[in-house]
Amino acid sequence: MKGITAILIALVSATTLLAQSSESVPASGAPKAFLIGQYQTAYDDLSASSASLVSVCDEDVRTAYGHFRNLAVELQKMAFAEGLDLYGVKCWIHFFWNPDGRIRHIAFYLKPASKNISQEVLTEFFTRFAKIYRIPVQSTSTFQLYTSLSFPVLKPEKQATHRPTSTQY
């Protein structure tokens, strides 16, 4: 009887863990935010199956850049509001969007010249950002942008008068 109870508890625990892990990783096989190279097969599939941001902006580079610039500013504002110091962070970043403009995934990799910041903290921050930010672009298919990003992105006179202090890394 004790053996059967132990087996049932183990099965329930395993089922619960599997359900929780499937909720945190979408059907693409990658979480909302991840390091480039961590989920290579999913990353390659996402890259191959998405149009570019420029193409969904009717080949208008200025419009696409404006959308990216606004996204970068919103990233910086959210980091500042959370007390996360991104000043000096430099990375390669790949955004993947759903057709309705919601962020599907953010893949990134810190550049060698970047300020030292915890990749886990940055992953968690990008995950939170991806859940709330929506680019004002509509498309019939998924789309993407691979670019370089360095902070700060706002001019000093447009920022708050002090830098945020962070103990998160």
Reading the chain (169 residues) residue by residue, the pLDDT tens digits are 555 544 444 444 444 433 333 334 455 689 999 999 999 999 999 999 999 999 999 999 999 999 999 999 999 999 999 999 999 999 999 999 999 999 999 999 999 999 999 999 999 999 999 999 999 999 999 999 999 999 999 764 455 544 555 444 4
6 in any annotated domain: no
Give pLDDT, residue 2. 56
pLDDT at res. 126: 98
Long-range contacts of 54-61 (CB under 8 A, 24+ apart): 55/143, 56/137, 56/139, 56/141, 56/143, 57/137
Q: How far apart are CA 58 and CA 74, in angstroms?
A: 24
Total domains in the chain come to 1
Range of the domain at 49: 28-158
- In this prediction the pTM is 0.76
Task: Determine how many CB atoms are found less than 10 A away from the CB of residue 80.
Answer: 20
Is position 107 within any domain?
yes
Length of the chain equals: 169
pLDDT given at position 154: 72
